[in-house]
Amino acid sequence: MADPLVIKICGIKTLDILDTAIAAGADMVGFVHFPRSPRHVSIEEIANLISAARGRVETCVLLVNPDNSCVAEVAALGPDWIQLHGPESPHRVEAIRAEAGIEVIKAVPIGSAEDVAHIAGFTDVADRILVDAKPPKGADRPGGLGETFDWTLLKALDPSIPFMLSGGLTPKTVAEAIKTVRPFGVDVSSGVESAPGVKDKRLIEAFIRNARAAE
């Protein structure tokens, strides 16, 4: 019996949407602390969201190339996970994990076979790997920005490396993604929004329902 699929709803900004994601059956919720993102929330807001989520769902704070003071500030909030979404090296990921004392998800942007080869460098220093679409050239922030990548590239990945899949997933595409790519988890942000940073309750519910049906 395979482990149940892990479903993460990322970029949550309000208690209302947090409650929606939990009621719909999300396993993890993510909060973005990165001012250039339309999903950015302050440390104070994240503190409120984490305390509202505690004991109900796993929480994750997404950071981009954070400095040590930012890591310490976030670690003090007691999330279950820190997700690193910048150009952090394996050495830096290891240092952040040791300093924070919190499990780390490392996002690796995929646009080529060379990018897939980089994943192996993070498997010993991160607790989970998240593969995401590489942002288009000139983008002002990391992440798939609503785009998928060529999933066939992942065929080159060592099958013993488990990963979560992100990048352009929507309620319409998530079932195909799960069946094609076989990730242990899926992560969605813009695919369940009606506008950048504005989550849509019905899309969150449909995404989770369709993902569970595809397990």
Structure tokens at 172: 């319409």
Compute how many other C-beta atoms are within 10 angstroms of the C-beta atom of residue 86.
15
Active site residues: 10, 132
- Say how far apart CA 71 and CA 23 lie, in whole Å: 30
- Say how far apart CA 83 and CA 79 lie, in whole Å: 10
Beta bridge partners of 132: 109
Q: Which helix or strand (DSSP H or E) is residue 7 part of?
A: strand 6-9
- Say how far apart CA 39 and CA 196 lie, in whole Å: 8
Structure tokens at 117: 């080869």
